[in-house]
Chains A and B, each alone.
Chain A
Amino acid sequence: MTRHDERTGGAKSAVTVRGLVKHYGETRALDGIDLDVAEGTVRGVLGPNGAGKTTLVRILSTLLAPTAGHATVAGYDVVRQPRQLRRVIGLTGQYASVDEKLSGWENLYLIGRLLDLPRKEARRRSDELLERFSLTEAARRPAGAYSGGMRRRLDLAASMIGRPEVLFLDEPTTGLDPRTRNEVWDEVKRLVGEGVTVLLTTQYMEEAEQLASELTVVDRGKVIAGGGIEELKARVGGRTLRIRPADPLQLRPLAAALDELGITGLAGTTVDAERGSVLVPVLSDEQLTVVVGAVTARGITLNSLTTELPSLDEVFLSLTGHRAGVPQDALSADTSEEVVAV
C-alpha cells in the first residue's frame, strides 16, 4: 500500500454522496453525509456502532431509499437508475450473505446466472473464483459447513462475479479471529491491486489503516473528519518514538536523559518495560533529530528505533470527544510501525 493522500480533485469520482439523509421516524441514521471516492481508491468509513455506516452502504447499494439528498455510484443515481447501478457494484455485507444450503460452487453459479452470464461462462467464472479464493477443495460442500473465514471469502468471491467497478465492504471482518481477518485483508488488497474502487466500513482502526488510503470518520450520522489517513493522524498530532536499548538496564537512565531535553510534548517520556523500550512523543523532524543526537551522545547501544503514528483510536477520541463504539479488543493492540533505524 503505497497510496498517499490523494484528494479526489483530479481523479474521477466513483462514488459521490451529497447531503444524504435517512430518517427512521425520530432517529436520524444519516444526517447529511457528503462523501467522494475517487476511482481506484479505497475509502474507509470509520465509526462506532450506530454511526450510520451500514445505512450508508445500504443506500448506495440500492437496498434502502434515502430520505433526502442524492448519491451516484459509477455515475448512476441510486434512486433513479437502480438496475444499471446494480450491474456495476459488488456487496459484501456485515453477515456473510451466502446460501448455506447450497455448495460454494452453486452459490457462485447462481449469482453468475442472475447476472446474465451464459451457462458456460457462469461455470467458468465460478471455477475461476473458487480457485482464486482457495476454495476449490470445498467447492462441492454446502456453505453452511464452511468456517467463518471460508464463508467471508465465498462472500467476496460472490461479490466479484460480475467484475464490479465499485465494491462495498460492510464490516468485512467483524467477528473473525485475527488469522482469518488477515486472510480476508489479503484478498481485499489483491482486489484493490486490480483497480476496483472500494468503500469499506469498519469499526476497527487497524482495518482502516491496513486497507484504506482515504478515511471518513462518521459519528451519529455525520461526517466528523475526512482525508488521507496519514493526514488525519498528523492533525491529531505528532509521532511517538519507540527507542529500545540493547541493555534493558539502560531503560531508566535513558528515559531520564531524554526527559532532561525538555522537548517532549503532550504525554512526556514513558517507559514500556514489557517491551523494553522508552516512548518519546515528538512533534517535528527537528525534535526527532535532537532525540537521536542525545542518545548517540550518551553512547547507548540501541536495539531498534522506530516511529509510531498515533492509533486511529486516538484519532477518533480527539475528533469526537468519545471513544469509538467497541471496547479495545485484540485488534488494535498493534499499530503499524514505520522503521527509521535498526
Chain B
Amino acid sequence: MSAATAAPAAGVRPDARISPRAHLRHTGALVRRNLLWIRQDPESMFDAVLFPVVFTLLFVYVFGGSIGQSLGGGQEAYVQYIVPGLMAMMGMNMSQGVGTGFNQDFNTGVMDRFRSLPIGRGSVLFAKISVELVRMLIATAILLVVGVLVGFDVTNWPGLFAAVGLSTVFGSALMWVFLTLGVVMKNAQSVQAMGFLVLMPLQFGSSIFAPTQSMPGWLQNFTAYNPLSALADAARGLMVGGPVAHDLWMVLAWSVGMTAVMAPVAIHKFRTKT
C-alpha cells in the first residue's frame, strides 16, 4: 500500500501545494459541516432571529418617541433613524458569536484533526466566516421586514442593497478580529468578556442609537472616529438619503485595514496554536 505514495528521500522534494480548486472544495465541505450544526441545533439561530425583532421593537416603541423629538419628528422619524443603525450593529453581534463558537470548537479535539489533514490553512476559517455571513444576512433580512412592519420607509432600494453589502463587508472584517480572539484566548468565557468590553463602548459611543450632537465634546470626538458611526451613517445615507461618500470610504478603509491585518494573524495563529 505504501508503493502508491512512495516516500522520497527526506527533504529533497518540495512540499505539495494545494490548488485553488482544492481550497474551494475543502471550504465547501467545512461550510456543509457548519450548516449541519445549525440543522442539528436550530436554537443556535435564535440570536439571528430574535435579536433584530427584539431590538427594533424595543428601540422604536420605548425610546422612539422621545429620541424622535430631537430629530424633529416623533416615533416615525426615529424608525427611519434606528433601522439603518441596527443594521450596522448586526455585524458586531454576529462576529462576537464567531469568536466564542470557534473557541469552543478548539477545545474539542476536532480542530487537531483538521489541522493534521492536508488542507489549506485558511479553509476552516473561511468556512466559519461564510456561514456566519449567511446568518448575518438572515438577521438583516428579518430586521428589514420588522422595520417595514413598524413603518420604515425605504426611499432608495438600490441603496438598501448597497447598505446590506457594506455592512456585510464590515461584518466579515470584524469576524477576523473575533476569530483571532477565539484562537488566541483560553476559553469561550474570556472571548465573550473581551468582546463585551470592546463592543459596549463602540456600540453606544456611536451614532447607532441616537444623534451625537447632544453628547459631550470628548464623546463626540470618539464617535467621529468610531467605524460603527460611519457604518450607521452610511447605511442611513444609502437607504433614506443624505451624505454618504465620507462615511462610505471610512467604513471601507476600516474593513480593508482590519481584514489585511487580522486575517493573516488569525490564519497564522490557527496553524501554530499548540
Contact = CB atoms under 8 A, between A and B. Distances in A.
Question: Does B bind A?
Answer: yes
Interface stretch (B1-9, B209-217, B234-242): B1-9
B112 A93 contact: yes
Contact of A116 (B5, B7, B8, B22): B22
Contacts of A95: 108-109
Interface stretch (A2-10, A83-91, A278-286): A83-91
A77 B16 CA distance: 12
A123 interface: no
A102 B34 CA distance: 9
A47 to B, nearest CB: 19
Instruction: Tell me which of A98, A101, A142, A195 has the highest count of chain B C-beta atoms within 10 A of its own C-beta.
Output: A101
B13 A81 contact: yes
B29 A113 contact: yes
A306 to B, nearest CB: 39
- The SS class assigned to the B binding surface is loop
A84 to B, nearest CB: 5
A96 interface: yes
Given A106-B36, A114-B119, A99 B110 contact: yes
Contact of A89 (B11, B37, B116): B116
B118 A76 contact: no
Contact of B5 (A91, A99, A101, A165): A165
B117 A101 contact: no
A97 B116 CA distance: 11
Contacts, number: 112
Nearest to B105: A99
A113 B26 CA distance: 7
Contacts of B118: 83-84, 86-87, 115-116
Given A84-B16, A110-B29, A75 B10 contact: yes
A65 B11 contact: no
B32 interface: yes
B10 A76 contact: yes
B33 interface: yes
B116 A91 contact: yes
A95 B113 CA distance: 11
Interface of A: 16, 39, 58, 61-65, 72, 74-77, 80-84, 86-89, 91, 93-102, 106, 110-111, 113-116, 142, 158, 163, 165, 195
Interface of B: 1-2, 5, 7-11, 13-18, 22, 25-26, 28-30, 32-33, 36-37, 40-41, 108-110, 112-119, 272, 274
- A-B pairs, top 10 by smallest CB distance, nearest first, are A75-B7, A97-B109, A113-B29, A86-B118, A97-B113, A95-B109, A72-B10, A81-B15, A87-B118, A74-B7
